[in-house]
Structure 1
């Protein structure tokens, strides 16, 4: 029921945003009401960005860039056009997904929208009150010898969650933790637990812009569902770069699709809606998958089995510890 309510809310938000897009797929910049203007957090107007081929090669090799090599069009005079004539007004509570094959320019577009990168022409205007939090799954930033309590609350029993004081035990429960893990060392946590700890730490900070770069990498199903819920409940604007089509279909209100030519498709909806647009534009021809040639050639996955009931985190942990407890009791009886 919770998931259905989340999707209904998402579809309603998509319909509202679709009404604000012109048939050409660009957002209206001239809004009449002062209220609508006040909700704008990022405004891109006729933005263009190119890289010389040598600089482009260096950017591809950068460890934190998700843009790989590409043979896309738009090259002139030894440079490649990454973003061409891009216009969009992003408002509060928009959930924006950026998709495309490796090398299409997803990271470049993300950096333009967050002000990390300046456009060659056109303008990017950010709201003065914008406070961004970046989540890129760099769990190594959390020292393995630190306790959960240290990571979240600097050793305290209380944590400030976006201006609201909460007890650390209650906050841990919000992120599917057994409160008894408050003294656990980061290095002893599972991959899913470390991911949830990272989310808990970042979401405690005040922000009105959430930026996620490939957030679903290495997440277990429980953490993935939690992330979808947190994004749905987030009171600000969300920018997501991801190859996870199902995740995008369940979280974003607008998809920015990049095919490597410099064009950025703007679609009210998720990844599936972008694919429909591309197919219609190509006259029904097969659409190349955003994961690249390898993904396009892959066989379709088998149907997912029916989802079975899942133990809560606490019950699962108790179950895992059960054999040891049985041995202890047997020893006491003997």
Structure 2
């Protein structure tokens, strides 16, 4: 193993009344791609600042190879006090050259002459990325780099980091981002740190093994420690197992929705019976909304059913917020109509976290200062309810200002989900959340009785939660796809049908072709056999993913690791194609029956 270019030995830091962490040893190689994982409040951001040399620690020694430049991309770029975003990008202690900043800014799509005071979260994030990358660092420390970025910008950043020659450590809630880019993982847990030479794709399986080993060791320890470890294991691994069952239910709901959507390209959800119509909570018909000459939404129709989970995706400026406001009644369409059920009562959880006064206590937010919180009509003790959202009960009297960004987001979720409602509107809900809280949020959404509208750029989160995806490309058209983000991408990449070849018109050609009375032999065979084949492929994917979860596989047998990755990718493509083919045949069978 080559010498590290950045290291910290015996790192310790006191925060508040005790040690935030102590005895940490970290060594970063020249080409490391590391995921830094840990619960909100574990100290992930603080650890990155220690590595960057921005915090003086209470213990430990930091060493760095001469000439190594370390750059921290902070979670919340401090643009206040600068006239423009350009001024911000050129004000770093080791400021990059202006031409280098402009080159990155042009690629990621940010106008650096934008006034800093009015810049959006996405614009501030893009400016910070341009400043960080233009400094040509040997080590990049990335704190939630995809926050507030749209899908195009995230994919650009992934491509840039894939070609990057240096080392990076990334804190991110974006599972897809971490899975695609990282090759090793650092787990900050209960004041200590562990490292495994497995990327984020194998992280869950590795942590479950660690918890299982600790639980076995705890048999010899006192009962209090054993109970603590049991709670940790149940709170993490058991939740993941339950979510597997919820994912299976989600796929069933998507299949039902696919049948309702009708032929590809048909936006209106056609429901055949009166019972289905009574379940409608929002009915949008031929809706168009313009701002000036530009049609942001054009000729959009959708029938939202009770219990639907609707994801809205697209680039910044494509019209996601406009579409959300049209569906919820905050905006009225210029053409068409939107009818909402009279009984619809909604909760909106937005990106700004406006309700959280830093001087208030956790108890004040959840229970108006008391000991009991009413959770959808049922009284619960505030400390017990805190545990449901992964908080230690003793935090009940903590000030909001002392909580991390992720803990504040989790607290807001706990407050809002306690209220009775039948419509939940989530605007970028995954920002600042840790991965365990994301698991919890998926669980709460799955168990929610009402309808959910979600605007998000988190691809994995959408794939795990939504039944229908509304995809906007900026032209005014809205694609309506049964499934998640991956299903929308697959639809966009599907080749357009070739135009029919024009033949000279004859009398015979004028006679309409006779409608087939049944499927052809090949189509009928595919229709009968494909469900079994889809199950076989799914079993093969599960088998290969289980093998891939071996934490020592990459180090022991990198060729087999790569072969498994390739096989899983090919199998997923085959399964997607088989599912598409079967759905097409199912539509033909339904048409023949009418």
2:483 to 254, 269, 274: 269
Tell me what 1:10 maps to. 250
| In structure 2, C-alpha distance between the alignment counterparts of 1:45 and 1:266, rounded to whole Å | 13
Cα displacement (A) at 1:29: 4.6
Please name the residue that 1:32 is paired with.
Answer: 273
Deviations 1:160-197 (A, max 9, x none): 11111111122111111111111111111122211110
Aligned to 2:347, which of 114, 133, 152?
133
Find the aligned partners of 2:339 and 2:417 in 1 and give their Cα distance. Answer: 25
Count of residues paired in the alignment: 262
Between the aligned partners of 1:172 and 1:6, the Cα distance in structure 2 is 23
8 Å contact 1:25–1:267 — kept in the other structure? no
For the Cα contact (< 8 Å) 2:260–2:270, is it kept in 1? no
Query: In the TM superposition, what are the counterparts of 1:205-224 in structure 2 within 5 Å?
Result: 205-224=419-438
Structure 2 unaligned spans of 5+: 1-240, 499-547, 552-594
Shift of 1:145: 1.2
**Aligned position for 1:88:** 302
Correspondence 1:169 to 2:383: yes
Q: CA RMSD in A?
A: 2.0
Residue 265 (structure 2) pairs with residue 51 (structure 1):
no
> Equivalent residue of 1:50, what SS?
strand
Deviation at 1:2, TM superposition (A): 1.3
TM-score if structure 1 supplies the norm length?
Answer: 0.75
By percentage of residues, which structure has more helix?
Answer: 2
Ranked by relative contact order (alpha carbons within 8 Å, sequence separation 6 or more), the top structure is 1
Cα separation, 1, equivalents of 2:269 and 2:398: 51
Answer whether contact 1:137 1:195 (CA < 8 A) is retained: no
Give, in whole Å, the separation in 2 of the partners of 1:282 and 1:29: 24
How many angstroms apart in 2 are the aligned matches of 1:148 and 1:183?
A: 6
Go from structure 1 to structure 2 and tell me whether the alpha carbon gap of 1:6 and 1:30 turns closer, same or farther (over 3 Å shift).
Answer: closer
- Per-residue CA distance 1:259-308 (angstroms, 9 max, x = gap): 11111100000111111111114579xxxxxxxxxxxxxxxxxxxx9598
Post-superposition offset of 1:220: 1.3
- What is the SS of the residue equivalent to 1:143? coil
Deviations 1:238-271 (A, max 9, x none): 0011111111111100000111111110000011
Q: Which residue of 1 aligns with 2:129?
A: none
Which has more radius of gyration?
2
Q: Quick one: distance in 1 between partners of 2:550 and 2:333?
A: 46
Equivalent residues of 2:260, 2:271 under 8 A apart: no
Q: Report whether the alignment pairs 1:22 with 2:262.
A: yes
Q: Name the residue aligned to 1:231.
A: 445
Cα distance in 2 for partners of 1:279, 1:175 equals 39
- 2:326 corresponds to which residue? 112
Pairwise mapping of residues 192-207 of structure 1 onto structure 2 (< 5 A)?
192-207=406-421
> Counterparts of 1:127 and 1:49 in 2: how far apart (Å)?
21
Residue aligning to 1:154: 368
Secondary structure at the residue paired with 1:83? strand
Match of 2:348, SS state, is strand
Whole-angstrom CA distance in 2 between matches of 1:140 and 1:48: 31
Deviation at 1:138, TM superposition (A): 2.3
Shift of 1:31: 3.9
In the TM superposition, 1:47-86 aligns within 5 A as 47-52=287-292, 79-86=293-300
Q: Please show how residues 242-281 of structure 1 align to structure 2 within 5 Å.
A: 242-281=456-495
TM-score in terms of structure 2 length: 0.43
Cα distance, 1:84 vs. partner? 1.1
CA distance in 2, matches of 1:29, 1:200: 36
Residue 191 (structure 1) aligned with residue 191 (structure 2): no
Please report how far the alpha carbon of residue 103 of structure 1 lies from its aligned counterpart in structure 2 after TM superposition. 1.4
Distance in 2 of aligned mates of 1:13 and 1:274: 16
Q: What residue in structure 2 maps to residue 98 of structure 1? A: 312
